Amino acid sequence: MGCIFCKIIKGDIASEIVYRDDRVVAIRDIEPKAPIHVLVLSVEHIASLSATTDEHRPLIGHMVAVANELARSEGIAESGYRLVINSGPDAGQDVHHLHLHVLGGRKLGWRT
């Protein structure tokens, strides 16, 4: 399958991995929109947040908790950070594999 995040998780495509466990892999975004821009990927291939079901609730909670820990380890817990999940065309979701953006390290505007 042609999913770029599945390839990164398998190690077929190189990426800077900042955290890994059995349910999530966190990498640095290749095109960072802020000084800190980490992506928390689900290990399981799920096309989008809207494709998740009740069984994924613990996973989604885990992704948010890992993002919070990463904010701490990346040094932006106090200065502030934003979590973003783009789901579907109107949100501009480019990669159809569930992921959560952790953005910080500068003052963030509403859109950017």
Give the footprint of ligand 5GP on this chain (CB under 6 A): 4, 15, 27-31, 39, 86, 92-95
In angstroms, rounded to a whole number, what is the distance separating the alpha carbons of residues 28 and 30? 6
Geometric angle at alpha carbon 9, from 6 and 10, rounded to 5°: 85
In angstroms, rounded to a whole number, what is the distance separating the alpha carbons of residues 44 and 32? 24
Picked from ligand 5GP, Zn ion, none, the partner binding residue 29 (CB below 5 to 8 A depending on kind) is ligand 5GP
Nearer to Zn ion, 2 or 109 (CB): 2
Cα-trace Rg, the chain: 13
The CB-of-33 to ligand 5GP minimum distance in angstroms stands at: 7
Nearer to ligand 5GP, 14 or 107 (CB): 14
Residues of this chain that bind Zn ion (CB under 5 A): 3, 5-6, 45, 97
